[in-house]
Amino acid sequence: MMYITRRERFNAAHRLFRPEYSDTKNMEVFGKCSNPNWHGHNYELFVTVKGTVDPETGFLINLKALSKLIREKIIQKIDHKNINLEVDFMQGQMASTENLSVAIWNELEKPVRHLGAKLHCVKICESENNFVEYFG
C-alpha cells in the first residue's frame, strides 16, 4: 500500500456564527471569527490517496489528473470566494475547517475512485499553527 499526497492552495473569506445566537454569545463561542464583516485565510489543502503502484508506469495515480480533479471539484468553487455565501458544498453548514474537510472528502471520494485510487486523508491548514485531518 502506497500513499501519495497532492497540495493545492486557495484563498477565501468566511465567518463563524449562528444566526440564533446573540452577538455576545457568537463572540463568546467563536471569538474574532464571528466578525460580521468577514475575515479570510490562505488555506492549504493536502489530499492523500492510497493504492498500489502500476508496474508499467511506476505510478499510484497520475498526479496531473489528481491535481486537475482537485482544481475542478474544489479549487474553482472556493478560491477567492466567500465560503459561507458562495460554495455550494458548504451550504447549510458552519464554515469551520472541520466541516470543510468533511465536505471536501465527500466531493472527492467518488472521483478519486474513478482515477483508480482510494481517498485516504483530507488535511486543511488554516494557519501555520492550526490544521485538521479527516480520514472518512
33 part of the active site: yes
Other Cβ atoms closer than 10 A to 78: 24
When binding is defined by CB under 8 A, the residue of 86, 111, 116, 118 that contacts its own copies is 86
H or E, element range at 78: helix 76-78
Q: How far is the CB of 116 from its own copies (least distance, A)?
A: 13
Residue type, 92: G
User: Which is closer to its own copies, CB of 60 or CB of 108?
Assistant: 60
Residue 108 and residue 100: Cα distance in Å, rounded?
12
43 with 111: CB under 8 angstroms? no
- Of residues 37 through 56, those in contact with its own copies by CB under 8 A are 37-42, 48, 53, 56
126 part of the active site: yes
User: Which is closer to its own copies, CB of 85 or CB of 106?
Assistant: 85
Here the cell at position 18 is 449562528
- Residue 67, helix vs strand vs coil: helix
List active site positions: 33, 80, 126
Query: Under the rule (CB under 8 A), what is the footprint of its own copies?
Result: 1-9, 11-14, 16, 18, 29-33, 35, 37-42, 48, 53, 56-60, 62-64, 67, 79-82, 85-86, 93-99, 101-102, 127-135
